[in-house]
Structure 1
């Protein structure tokens, strides 16, 4: 039987599966005066709008989006509703609260997983959510060593579980799988269904969402667009992976590229061989790691870094993915689940996520200028964006809560290096990690190349 041609780009499989984003919402029709203007209609911006209206229903809130709601990472990600920290515990623990503040942030992230599920259930947002937990899997001796080291440092009351090779295989059979850590604080979801549902939800709350409306200037009190100026008492920037394209923000966060492929639906015989009936999301312990989910319609969606960064922080918006990256992800898929060799890969796409210089997220608000921003989730943005939006709403409305005291609030982060140092450093870093993975596959020991790369990049 002839396999279908690979679809490459077109934003993502998630949007293609829904028939596209649908008719565009109107552009800003002219000047407006509002209480709050949010720039960016991804998860961060939409969750911020949602919680603002929950706290103060009378607020007039406008969300401006250059393309369409969910055009960026919110409609392209791996579909992990995970409580993983958006950054390094060591970095986030440098503030006044120290390690206990990081523990508090972790607890809020776990609670936010359930909060997102509850909001979706209460408001009829169907995003294929199944809380099956997360599996961090070791597929070689070096990965197993790192995983055991992490496990040995866990708190006694941690709800995570250690799985040996047989216990892992009872959940999902992965070639070479020698052990795993299972965490209950994660759910699988359909990214585009979630962002589409959120956009519709905030509109029902009375929020105005204007698409195809780029912000040409973002300043205290106003956001300028080609179609008019929004004058607002509060201005919040929620541009995440596209922040480098905002004037004056070129070196704030780099747009790190991540790529995905998705198979055709697997036949029943393949699923009988693989298992994976619990809808767990799965990641490995490689330095250039993979992340995967079993979709609601029986596919495997798997992602990884691909081409991590483009010179000058350039962004390829259509999601087209290099053939080499497609081949690498396909090889990983076939290595982990050999039965998929007979299943077509139907779609490949890419997107960008925001990465600060210290690899850790920030939520910030200046009460003097009434401006704020959130992002830099380093690939863990589905839950983090919801908690960040909730926190921004607290800050913007002057509320003093546990969330406003979390260690990612108002952190100061130095900028990335200018080009060509930025390009050389990031591309060299990932070249070193890829080399380290190849060395580890041969000798089974954690590579000194990876350790050196961590030190050189100052990555925590």
Structure 2
């Protein structure tokens, strides 16, 4: 497809910054660029008709770390990095809410909960809570964000669960509404959104970047910001990012659903929430790490079967349900859960590898990528 004179002149002539990836990170980067420099011509290239990857395909958790997840992270990451990452997630959520407003993103301060299956794990968690609460108080301002919530177990009706831990500083968002609000703000600031445009490769020189796109052909920009998360190595193979598929389902409405909020179990590998009276449930990637290390956006029978089994045995035991919809999204992971936000050359910045926490990390990552880019213009 060749661009017409009108298309090229309107959207791509004298382009200052090309943002590749129109998810939460890319749109925040583009919007931040225009807020700081309204004179810049900024275009977002998004391969999908809708944001492709994970931004509208996740569970909509406004969370910053369950207890068993944090304990597991401490076995793989230095304490300082774990604490900094928790704070960054919380601060990112605050920034998201400040930028767009709670009503626009459907924010619900319903808290986060972790299901604990055995007494030994709960004993370890309770022993760690004073330390974890001291860390969390530094950025939440709450002296006891985490607490024993087992008294609510009978109220929720979960099976295979002996204890609960409650995090009162977490909540839920509607990520479809969030992304719609973010797109509206970006466009209102003067950002151009180019959906259905896939950047196949980039050629850099000292003066800028030439993007080879489908279906528009070559497009030149002074600077590029790559915000493609789990797909990052398709453009920047030097980055240590591994794609990871996350599969999700949502049920039909369930009369008198007994719980509200964000829930995790098994070190965060399983997660569920209410959407009104529906149950949205995702995870089970640990059932097949190799098979789920992919950019193929499909669902698989064995993962979906496990999710349905957990619904029957743990989440809504004894309750008839029907699955209304199934889908998957692609996360970006790495050897550490900390995101990559860095200059990869004199003309290109990357903001990728959100570690399954794009809702929490995406706003700050995008704004930091914008700041790095502005420093070179």
TM-score (norm 1): 0.69
Q: CA deviation at 1:38?
A: 0.6
Please point out which of 300, 312, 324 is paired with 2:279. 300
Match of 2:165 in 1: 181
Q: Flag the 1:142–1:102 CA change in 2: closer, same or farther, 3 A.
A: closer
Query: RMSD of the TM alignment (CA)?
Result: 3.0
For 1:341 and 1:231, locate their aligned partners in 2 and report how far apart those are by CA, in whole Å.
57
1:337 pairs with 303, 311, 315, which one? 315
- 3-state SS in 1 of match to 2:55: helix
Change (3 A) 1:310 1:168: closer
Q: Residue 159 and residue 218 in structure 1: after superposition, are their counterparts in 2 closer, same or farther (change >3 A)?
A: farther
Per-residue displacement from partner, 1:18-55 (whole Å, max 9, x unpaired)? xxxxxxxx9x9445322211101111101111222222
1:374 aligned residue (331, 351, 359) = 351
**TM superposition shift of 1:299:** 0.4
User: Judging changes above 3 Å, is the alpha-carbon distance between structure 1 residues 133 and 52 closer, same or farther for their aligned structure 2 residues?
Assistant: farther
Task: Name which of 114, 119, 136 aligns with 1:141.
Answer: 119
Contact kept? 1:67, 1:212, Cα under 8 Å: yes
| Other-structure match for 2:269 | 289
The equivalent residue for 1:261 is 249
SS at match of 1:341: coil
1:275-334 CA-partner distances (Å, limit 9, x unpaired): x2xx420001x2572101111x320101113444449x64223xx311222211011111
How many matched pairs? 351
Cα 1:175–1:102 shift into 2, 3 Å: closer
Distance in 2, matches of 1:341 and 1:207, equals: 48
Compare 103-112 and 286-295 and name the one that shifted more.
Answer: 103-112
- Structure 1 unaligned blocks of 5 or more: 1-25, 400-460
Task: Give the strand-richer structure, 1 or 2.
Answer: 2
1: CA distance between counterparts of 2:74 and 2:361? 14
C-alpha distance in 1 between matches for 2:347 and 2:234: 22
CA distance in 2: counterparts of 1:371 and 1:290, whole angstroms? 36
Matches within 5 A, 1:34-45: 34-45=15-26
**Shift, 1:109, TM fit:** 2.8
Mapping of 1:328-407 within 5 angstroms? 328-339=306-317, 341-366=319-344, 369-398=346-375
Q: 2 CA distance for matches of 1:370 and 1:377?
A: 22
Return the TM-score normalized by structure 2: 0.82
Q: Are 1:235 and 2:224 an aligned pair?
A: yes
Q: Unaligned regions of 5+ residues in structure 2, if any?
A: 138-142
What does residue range 86-97 of structure 1 map to in structure 2 within 5 Å?
88=73, 93=78
Which residue of structure 2 aligns with residue 316 of structure 1?
A: 296
Partner residue of 1:116 out of 96, 101, 118: 96
Partner of residue 439, structure 1: none
Q: Against the structure 1 CA distance between its residues 308 and 105, is the aligned structure 2 distance closer, same or farther, given a 3 Å change threshold?
A: closer
Contact 2:248 2:280 in 1 (8 A): yes
Aligned to 1:246: 235
| Partner Cα distance (2:244, 2:236) in 1 | 18
The answer as to 2:64 corresponding to 1:80 is no
| Offset, 1:359 | 4.3
- Alpha-carbon distance, 1:112 to partner: 2.4
* CA distance in structure 2 between the partners assigned to 1:89 and 1:397 by the alignment: 35
